[in-house]
Chains A and B, each alone.
Chain A
Amino acid sequence: MPSLPSPSLLTLAATFAPGVILEHYLLLAAILFAIGMLGVVTRRNALTMFMSIELMLNAANLTFLAFARVHADLSGHVTAILVMAVAAAEAAVGLAIVIALQRVRGTTNVDEVRTLKL
């Protein structure tokens, strides 16, 4: 049976951030998620849009970690690490596509990339 987070870490967190409760983490994650979503919708540069998506993934991670603490369950931590690995792989593929686009088109602005008609 894996042990729960060590009490010293808990006290450490309580010392440096007294009164920070689950809702604070969830709210922070929700705000990050909203910023990311807004970025994808409003920004037109492929790289900025991609960074916004990463922000959304990290908001999900933060939510996983906050709930993992509440449930005293390690699977949330494991999930967060898996998500980071997936995000890294996604970055590799995504940046390769952006580079290919820059070479062929000379731009990374998604509004200028429209050979395919609507």
Chain B
Amino acid sequence: MPSAADLLILLPTVALAFGACVLLLSEAFLECRNRGYQAAVAAGAAGLALSLALLQIAEPVTLSNDSLFRTVVQPDLFQSFIVATVSGGLLLSVLLSKGFLRARDAERGEYYALLLFAASGMTLLAMAADLVLVFIALEIMSLATYALSAWLRRDKRATEAALKYFLLGAFSSALYLYGVALAYGATGSTQLAELPKATLNPWIGGPAIALISVGFAFKVAAVPFHMWAPDVYEGAPTPVTAFMAVGVKAAAFAAFFRTIAVAFGGAPQHWGPVVEALAILSMIVGNLLALPQQNVKRMLAYSSIAHAGYALVGLSSASVYAGRVAGAEGLLFYLAAYTVAAVGAFGIAAVIERNELDAEKAWDLERFAGLAQRRPVLALFMAVFLLSLAGIPATAGFMGKLLVFRAGLDAGQLALVIVGVVTSAIAAYYYLRVIVSMYFHAPPGETEDLDRSAATSWGLGLACAAVVVLGIGPGTVMEIARRGAELLF
């Protein structure tokens, strides 16, 4: 008999979707001019999902043998970790959205509802063990984020970003789906566990695996499938960019890892070299293109491509038997570390941004000049986030890089590690440039008041605390990531 306990696995997803429904209905039926409660409801749902995911980590859920979900979801620690990461990123993004939207008079229930629906898709993506569920979860996530990036619909950049994101996202989904159709033909099933059979029929199986991988590479914005990312990340409303950069990446990497490294773990010769090339290209191209950017938001967008490259090092190490557990562990920890640092950095870009639509030079480096004198705490937070993204010791980013590079060494992929270390050194330049501007340059003549709302302060404070805690005392989280990685194979 299928038992009610099987539903436990879905609790975080249900919490997010339920919160979204509450927000949609309240927007439709509550005649309340003050929409301040909406961010609270959304933050509550995100916090609930986060606590449920942490409970799942403390007390792993299992499915009964005849559960209806048995063939489609995988109730393991890996998914709980990703769900917790995504929910944490969502919570921070919600807190950072409130002041941003209020300043632009764009605070509506649908915004938070879309954020929550996107996150519910991400949680499904993290646990999916069936290619069709992966497709549906990808689409739940993507459709919500397409709409979110067009949220400021009178803004030229936002609509442009939404169009580019939509066209390339739908295109990559179609590639992925055709790959799934071919895999279904080769194996007679869409379960991940059956996927390795597809290699027996190279004429169908080969293109199937290639198309599925290209679909994922688009979603995580790995070079050469990254062209959409800078424009979309720059044009979308900044809190949305924060959530897209971390949530979409974490969830898509989880599904990518499950499909490639776990399902095809027995046949690494088919994907190992390709992932290695993707990782090297992403690290080099992402960092080099970020170097000349004067626009801090666009710089963070390019750096997000580079970070996809570092996470790919973890995936690539999993192609070698000796490095696969370390690779999965590194990937998980890296995604968590990137989530807190990137949400924080984009959050500060949102605070700095000018309020009017289509503002010129809204996120220019000059706008950060002298921030340490105007808002010392804000400058300190930004410095911590940037140092973490650069991978300076005592921050989360350093531990993340350490773990993925160690996995690369375990796997004997020396070239990958060398490229990683060298590009990290290059990356430090453009991160430190912002810090220098904040601390050593005089503030511009005219300065407007920056957002001081409580939600924003809480969001930034929590993100900063998480960066420091993950950097100084990463023990518990690393332990969970390690167990999650060990149980995966």
The interface residues of chain A lying within 8 Å CB-to-CB of B210 are: none
CB within 8 A of B171: which of A53, A60, A98, A101? A53
Of residues 152 through 187 on chain B, the ones whose CB sits less than 8 Å from some CB of chain A are 153-157, 159-164, 166-167, 170-171, 173-175, 177-178, 180-182, 184-185
Q: Are A60 and B161 in contact (CB under 8 A)?
A: no
Closest to B139 in A: A86
Q: Interface digits, A26-53 against B, CB 8 Å rule (1 contact, 0 not)?
A: 1001000100100010000010011001
Closest to B207 in A: A30
CB within 8 A of B167: which of A49, A67, A114? A49
The interface residues of chain A lying within 8 Å CB-to-CB of B159 are: 97, 100-101, 104-105
Interface size on B, residues (CB 8 A): 40
Please report the C-alpha to C-alpha distance between residue A89 and residue B37 in the assembled complex, in whole angstroms: 29
Please report the C-alpha to C-alpha distance between residue A96 and residue B150 in the assembled complex, in whole angstroms: 9
The interface residues of chain A lying within 8 Å CB-to-CB of B230 are: 116, 118
- Is A94's CB within 8 Å of the partner chain B? yes
The interface residues of chain A lying within 8 Å CB-to-CB of B147 are: 93, 96-97
The interface residues of chain A lying within 8 Å CB-to-CB of B166 are: 93-94, 97
CB within 8 A of A64: which of B156, B162, B181? B181
Q: Are A60 and B177 in contact (CB under 8 A)?
A: yes
| Contact status of A115 and B132, CB under 8 A, knowing A40-B171, A110-B167 | no
The interface residues of chain A lying within 8 Å CB-to-CB of B163 are: 46, 97-98, 101, 110, 113
The interface residues of chain B lying within 8 Å CB-to-CB of A56 are: 171, 174-175, 177-178
The interface residues of chain B lying within 8 Å CB-to-CB of A64 are: 181, 184
- Return A106 CB to nearest CB of chain B, in Å: 11
CB within 8 A of B235: which of A86, A96, A116? A116
- Return B219 CB to nearest CB of chain A, in Å: 15
Q: Interface digits, B202-245 against A, CB 8 Å rule (1 contact, 0 not)?
A: 00000000000000000000000000001100110000000000
Q: Are A90 and B143 in contact (CB under 8 A)?
A: yes
- Return A59 CB to nearest CB of chain B, in Å: 6
Interface secondary structure of A, over-half rule: helix
Q: Are A104 and B153 in contact (CB under 8 A)?
A: yes
- Is B439's CB within 8 Å of the partner chain A? no
Q: Are B170 and A50 in contact (CB under 8 A)?
A: yes
Q: Are A115 and B181 in contact (CB under 8 A)?
A: no
| Contact status of A93 and B143, CB under 8 A, knowing A63-B178, A83-B177 | yes
The interface residues of chain B lying within 8 Å CB-to-CB of A93 are: 143, 146-147, 166
The interface residues of chain B lying within 8 Å CB-to-CB of A82 are: 132, 136
- Is B271's CB within 8 Å of the partner chain A? no
CB within 8 A of A86: which of B135, B164, B180, B181? B135
Q: Are B139 and A90 in contact (CB under 8 A)?
A: yes
- Is B188's CB within 8 Å of the partner chain A? yes
Q: Are A94 and B190 in contact (CB under 8 A)?
A: no
The interface residues of chain A lying within 8 Å CB-to-CB of B189 are: 73, 75
The interface residues of chain B lying within 8 Å CB-to-CB of A79 are: 132, 184, 190
Please report the C-alpha to C-alpha distance between residue A104 and residue B158 in the assembled complex, in whole angstroms: 10
CB within 8 A of A63: which of B161, B167, B181, B235? B181
- Is A70's CB within 8 Å of the partner chain B? yes
Closest to B357 in A: A104
The interface residues of chain A lying within 8 Å CB-to-CB of B143 are: 89-90, 93
Please report the C-alpha to C-alpha distance between residue A60 and residue B190 in the assembled complex, in whole angstroms: 14
Please report the C-alpha to C-alpha distance between residue A77 and residue B387 in the assembled complex, in whole angstroms: 51
Q: Are A40 and B167 in contact (CB under 8 A)?
A: yes
CB within 8 A of B160: which of A59, A61, A86, A101? A101
Closest to B184 in A: A67
Please report the C-alpha to C-alpha distance between residue A94 and residue B231 in the assembled complex, in whole angstroms: 18
Closest to A53 in B: B170
Which of the listed residues B162, B181, B231 has the most CB atoms from chain A within 10 Å of its own CB? B181
Please report the C-alpha to C-alpha distance between residue A45 and residue B37 in the assembled complex, in whole angstroms: 41
- Return A24 CB to nearest CB of chain B, in Å: 14
Please report the C-alpha to C-alpha distance between residue A89 and residue B121 in the assembled complex, in whole angstroms: 14
The interface residues of chain A lying within 8 Å CB-to-CB of B175 are: 56
Closest to B183 in A: A67
The interface residues of chain B lying within 8 Å CB-to-CB of A75 are: 132, 189-190
Please report the C-alpha to C-alpha distance between residue A68 and residue B264 in the assembled complex, in whole angstroms: 24
Q: Are B167 and A50 in contact (CB under 8 A)?
A: yes
Q: Are B135 and A90 in contact (CB under 8 A)?
A: no
Apart from A83-B177, A86-B135: 20 A-B pairs, beta carbons within 8 A: A29-B181, A33-B178, A40-B167, A46-B167, A53-B167, A53-B170, A57-B173, A57-B174, A60-B177, A61-B181, A73-B188, A76-B184, A89-B139, A90-B173, A97-B163, A101-B163, A113-B163, A116-B157, A116-B230, A118-B230
**B-to-A contact residues, CB < 8 Å:** 132, 135-136, 139, 143, 146-147, 150, 153-157, 159-164, 166-167, 170-171, 173-175, 177-178, 180-182, 184-185, 188-190, 230-231, 234-235
**A-to-B contact residues, CB < 8 Å:** 26, 29, 33, 36, 40, 46, 49-50, 53, 56-57, 59-61, 63-64, 66-67, 70-71, 73, 75-76, 79, 82-83, 86, 89-90, 93-94, 96-98, 100-101, 103-105, 110, 113-116, 118
| 18 A-B pairs (CB sep. < 8 Å) | A46-B163, A56-B175, A60-B174, A63-B181, A66-B185, A75-B132, A83-B135, A97-B150, A97-B159, A101-B160, A103-B153, A104-B153, A104-B154, A104-B156, A105-B159, A110-B167, A116-B234, A116-B235
The 3 closest A-B pairs by CB, nearest first: A56-B174, A63-B181, A67-B185
